[in-house]
Structure 1
Amino acid sequence: MENTNIKNGIILIPDFNGFTQFVFNTKLFTGEYIVRQLLSILIDVNNRYFDISEIEGDAILFYKYDKKPCYKKISTLLVKMQNSFNAKIKELSKLMNTSIDLSLKFVVHYGQFSEYKIGNFQKLYGKTVIEAHQMLKNNWANQPSYIFYSRSFLTFLPYSDNTIDTAKHHICDFGMIEYFEG
């Protein structure tokens, strides 16, 4: 049996730091409203560049089939997501007169995966998807907001896209972590 649906692509997962504590310390209606607003802003800023596989709690599983990923395009999009997320937190904190102690981390991974349909749901399948989820659970970054680019993603960048400013980056065995200012 051969699956012709297997393709190379990017997995992107934006995930909230501090989510569990937030849920336990926030009233149900208030927390749900805030999380819905924050997830919505990430989806809006994405502007359909990535497809959405699923939304689970405080994370979105984005994907894009792409044989030649572009660091500059993706990093620009993620900075826009980060800035919009921070602005929305500031807006909601002021509107609701409360402190919202959430930050954002991103995992960007590249490899082969497939998708299949169950009812109305499109599901992703493959080692690449599992690896991206595993990368969320790491001890490599000290900052609350960052982007973690896997070595697999960095390896597939075209040579012309390898102009990465390493000043605010940390290279580790598994890839590169880009820290956000402030």
Structure 2
Amino acid sequence: MSLEDYKTKLCPTLIIIPDITGFNDYMNNSNLEYSQKAIGELLESILDNNILNLKVSDIEGDTILFYSYDLNKTIDQIIYQCELMFQKFHDKLKTFNPDNCNCGTCERLHNLTLKFVVHFGRLSSLMLKDYCRLFGKDLKIAHTLLKNSIDFREYILVTDNVLVNYKRERKISMINSSWQEGKESVTDIGEINFLYKQLEIT
């Protein structure tokens, strides 16, 4: 492969990461064959409701790394995308009946929860056949924010970088509704400010 093939450039990128909390405990304590099938269906419920046509860079068991170079989306569209995936995830969970499961796999499945980290930054990428590998400090920020001090188990976290780069009438309108302000420290980068709100099943 020539050096040309390895040349990358930094591109403004929207990052959305849905993360299934409780995944490792579920997989370690459930029937493997059945649990793999169930997790696959839950991940598909997220992928099938990708109405913003986000690209997928990676699926890591309990997380999906979505990204987009489209700067024409609005904050409201991005939030609705997360809320839709959240609802469809729980709709799929409801189809698994613990009463009909002799091994308890379905019962443990209902302990799973879903959260979202939404960040915007500049990333480089490398194409390996049909697979796009993303790189950059903003990807580190997004992954680091998956582990935070938020009390809720299910929520959307939206960094200030998203609020600055995507259209929203007023940030204060989010704070005055169901959103709260937060911040986390990322090693070698510093403090990252964000808004977050609890997600609830309708």
**2:148 paired with 1:148:** no
Find the counterpart in structure 2 of residue 179 from structure 1.
198
- State the superposition RMSD in angstroms: 2.1
Matched AA of 1:123: R
Tell me how far 1:166 sits from its aligned partner.
3.4
Secondary structure at the aligned position of 1:88 is classed as helix
1:37 to 38, 41, 44: 41
Q: Which moved more, 1:6-15 or 1:67-76?
A: 67-76
1:122 to 126, 132, 157: 132
Query: Which residue matches 1:23?
Result: 27
Query: How far is the alpha carbon of 1:15 from its aligned partner?
Result: 0.4
The amino acid across from 2:142 in the alignment is A
What letter matches 2:10 in structure 1? Answer: I
- Change over 3 Å in CA distance of 1:78–1:57 after alignment to 2: same
Q: Does 1:164 align with 2:168?
A: no
What is the distance in 2 between the residues matched to 1:124 and 1:40? 22
Quote the Cα distance in structure 2 between the aligned partners of 1:78 and 1:55: 17
Q: 1:34 to 1:125 in 2, by over 3 A?
A: same
The amino acid of 2:119's aligned partner reads H
Q: How many residues align?
A: 180
> Relative to structure 1, is the Cα distance of residues 151 and 93 closer, same or farther in structure 2, using a 3 angstrom cutoff?
farther
The code of the aligned residue for 2:31 comes to K
**Rg bigger for which structure?**
2
Cα distance per residue 1:132-171 (max 9 Å; x no partner):
11110112x2111101111211222335364436332111
Taking the aligned partners of 1:33 and 1:4, their CA distance within structure 2 comes to 37
Once the 2 structures are TM-superposed, how far is the Cα of residue 118 of structure 1 from its aligned partner? Answer: 2.1
Distance in 2 separating the partners of 1:143 and 1:124: 29
Task: Name the residue aligned to 1:71.
Answer: 75
| Structure 2 residue 81 is matched with structure 1 residue 62 | no
Q: Structure 1 residue 90 and structure 2 residue 94: aligned?
A: yes
After alignment, is 159-168 or 120-129 more displaced? Answer: 159-168
- Which stretches of structure 1, 4 residues or more, deviate above 4 A after TM superposition? none
Q: Distance in 2 between matches of 1:68 and 1:127?
A: 23
Q: 1:81 to 1:5 in 2, by over 3 A?
A: same
Calculate the TM-score normalised by the size of structure 1.
0.89
**Structure 1 residues 56-107: Cα deviation after superposition (integer angstroms, max 9, x where no partner):** 1110000001334411001111111111001100112368543221010000
Q: Name stretches of at least 5 consecutive residues in structure 1 with no aligned partner.
A: none
Q: Percent identity?
A: 28
Choose from 104, 116, 141 the match for 1:131: 141
| Aligned match of 1:10 | 14
* CA distance in 2: counterparts of 1:115 and 1:176, whole angstroms: 27
Equivalent residues of 1:10, 1:69 under 8 A apart: no
| Structure with greater proportional helix content | 1
